[in-house]
Structure 1
């Protein structure tokens, strides 16, 4: 369906940032890094200078500048950094063993690599443990504002090409408990890196009075959410697949997107073609009838009900034609009332196709069917070449075809998107996909839909994540905030996701 919400103003995340407050009577430590004092800084490795209005280094294999005598535990760090395309630049925080070799330290580490257009967050001890990394548009030899907020085990990391404000969203908002206190150091490797305008403040955390923490519901995979008459209906893949047990599409209900009630099966196998493999539902309403689209035995079926609660049944127990229509159905209604049907077919891997849905809502115009996109990028090919779970949204006249990449069981299952000025393409994939990907604290984060908050002022992505670091199923339901931000390069607005999160977040706006 078209999303009128997506045409509204951007909304700030200031309410979420109220978790972090300056500690009363705290330092801060301020250093422009134009004339670093030997009393405060110990330089290890590299060739350092400070005659260009910043602290510059030719780091070679590695260099760090250790801020001496200032141990931190809960803090906010602000710093400007830049590097050339062959270099990495960043910060070690809550660090230890910083006085010997540039590569002998332990602690948390955040760094950017302009040549790879990537930001990294690691935990370094005897071995390096990746926490999270994301592709971002990072220019070489350009200053970036880096902010790190650490309060107990919660860490939030921001990166902006302009000053960070209360409207800024973190790149990462996660949990890492390996190091709780230690020193600060500036770190670089490669050919050329620079630092300026360091600011360190102590902070304290204050619990939110009304919050949620992901996951919000156990056992909800491949979710699609309908908002009807003040209630949310989440239709999901049901994990139990043993033969002889009831199969079908599971239903949960909520009034706030956070607290869910299991309502049992909205559709049971006895009311449908097929007897197993009931996956990945989608739902729309037209003229008082609710149409539930779902896969059964790797073919898409459509069942109907006069209530979003179901029960949904097929009038004629058969899958949609043609037989190339396999799994992961999605229906999008454009502004002119024309409905489009998207699905996954099996070609060179899992490919997303689309076409026009006929007025009967259960058949497609076969002459309109065409391939939308396929798994031709590295992030879409972990374990298997897969692009799946299509979900369309429209913003300022641009069509955003969002989807999941890689095998659902792989930890790198992730969300990306492509844009077009037509609902059937041609499509241009966003250059810095994926826009939401797995971390050490949230794995397999994809197969999603979008829905408004109860008062319509916010957008949320509803998605599933793996049960744990080592276990895929039963997959669990999670929600996070979404917005559109201007593209500095002048392209279509960028779809930005504040997630995946595993830390307390403010309740959806309008939730009671």
Structure 2
């Protein structure tokens, strides 16, 4: 073989290796939905120092998964953080969210007692102090989170931090009407204490918020470019019409007043029958190295009329424009989605 032929062979081999490497990187740079095959409702997900941490409704416990990639969450080991057989708070653990506040991890969740959904209330756990690892504990029960004026059905608690103040936002039953879930806000004096009365900031009114039952739940605050928003879920979770809506806080206004919030008349994110995604909602937004992503749950069968374990966690990027968050159309299962860049 001549030197020219050897050179050509070397170039061909190098090209083949480069193509293979690029193909491998492309595979590594994407993930597919769903992230979990069952019990994936109400996800909370964060990217912390290059590691993804995720929780979702497990009903019987509060658990977490962790991975260096979103794709890796498919096979990540389940880490059980907390169980409780105490009468009065031992049934249907829903929508745990983990927050690092004042140097400590806390988990906010709804739980009922004695197999009675009507007793669902918000509760809080206290965990470890390692900011880089919310899976460390042990997590210990602190107590219920019940506003002075609102000892009734409540779920889906989250945290709003604004202008050096902290608030607890949640979904609760409006007791003076047939079953209606509104969004409430309460001031917090510390991560485990609510102060004063809870105030309604929004109730369902549009058709897309009232499928099967008038519902607003899963409120998730986010502040971007000086404006605060709450993205929430609407309509009953059993329906294929479950969707996300948007509230915008008037700059400088008191977040405890309903008049301070403006609601979009159209949903922000909803089903896509062509993609086979039904009832998408109850999301959590998190920041990555190249922008923002959100985790949410959805269903793949049009006839899945339930709030059960067939709801699976999905993840997609989203953006902002001058009017707030801009969510894309839901992607079908097994469609490649770009892995986020690490922070």
Shared fold (TM-score, shorter chain, > 0.5): yes
Q: Structure 1 residues 315 and 355 mapped into 2: Cα distance closer, same or farther (>3 Å)?
A: closer
Alignment equivalent of 2:237, drawn from 408, 411, 420: 408
Q: More helix by proportion, 1 or 2?
A: 2
Offset, 1:358? 1.2
Offset, 1:250? 2.4
Counterpart secondary structure, 1:468: coil
Separation in 1, partners of 2:121, 2:280: 24
* Stretches of structure 1 lacking an aligned partner (at least 5 in a row): 1-206, 240-246, 487-492
Does 2:184 match 1:353?
A: yes
Offset, 1:222? 0.5
Offset, 1:467? 5.2
The equivalent of 1:483 in structure 2 is 319
The equivalent of 1:301 in structure 2 is 123
The equivalent of 2:286 in structure 1 is 451
Residues 362-377 of structure 1 mapped to structure 2, 5 A cutoff = 362-367=192-197, 369-377=198-206
**Which stretch of structure 1 is more off in the superposition, 494-503 or 207-216?**
207-216
Offset, 1:279? 0.5
Q: Deviations over 1:183-202 (max 9, x none)?
A: xxxxxxxxxxxxxxxxxxxx
The equivalent of 1:330 in structure 2 is 158
Offset, 1:319? 5.0
Does 2:257 match 1:427?
A: no
Separation in 2, partners of 1:495, 1:299: 30
The equivalent of 2:30 in structure 1 is 211
Offset, 1:325? 6.4
Q: Deviations over 1:287-343 (max 9, x none)?
A: 331111100111000011115114422145x45344146111011222x33111101
Does 2:217 match 1:388?
A: yes
The equivalent of 1:438 in structure 2 is 271
Count of residue pairs the alignment pairs up: 286
Separation in 2, partners of 1:371, 1:496: 25
Separation in 2, partners of 1:273, 1:293: 17
The equivalent of 2:14 in structure 1 is none
Q: Deviations over 1:408-450 (max 9, x none)?
A: 010000011011123335211113x211101221111000010
Alpha carbons 1:249, 1:278 under 8 Å: kept: yes
Q: Deviations over 1:70-129 (max 9, x none)?
A: xxxxxxxxxxxxxxxxxxxxxxxxxxxxxxxxxxxxxxxxxxxxxxxxxxxxxxxxxxxx
Q: Structure 1 residues 254 and 271 mapped into 2: Cα distance closer, same or farther (>3 Å)?
A: farther
The equivalent of 2:339 in structure 1 is 508
Alpha carbons 1:255, 1:511 under 8 Å: kept: no
Alpha carbons 2:244, 2:267 under 8 Å: kept: yes
TM-score where L is the length of structure 1: 0.52
Separation in 2, partners of 1:409, 1:444: 8
Q: Deviations over 1:35-65 (max 9, x none)?
A: xxxxxxxxxxxxxxxxxxxxxxxxxxxxxxx
> What RMSD in Å do the two structures reach over aligned CA positions?
2.4
Rg larger in structure: 1
Residues 235-314 of structure 1 mapped to structure 2, 5 A cutoff = 235-238=55-58, 247-260=60-73, 261-270=76-85, 274-297=89-112, 298-306=120-128, 308-309=134-135, 310-314=137-141
Q: Deviations over 1:155-180 (max 9, x none)?
A: xxxxxxxxxxxxxxxxxxxxxxxxxx
Q: Structure 1 residues 429 and 391 mapped into 2: Cα distance closer, same or farther (>3 Å)?
A: same
The equivalent of 1:223 in structure 2 is 43
Alpha carbons 2:229, 2:324 under 8 Å: kept: no
Alpha carbons 1:271, 1:313 under 8 Å: kept: no
Alignment equivalent of 2:329, drawn from 482, 485, 499: 499
Alpha carbons 1:320, 1:362 under 8 Å: kept: no
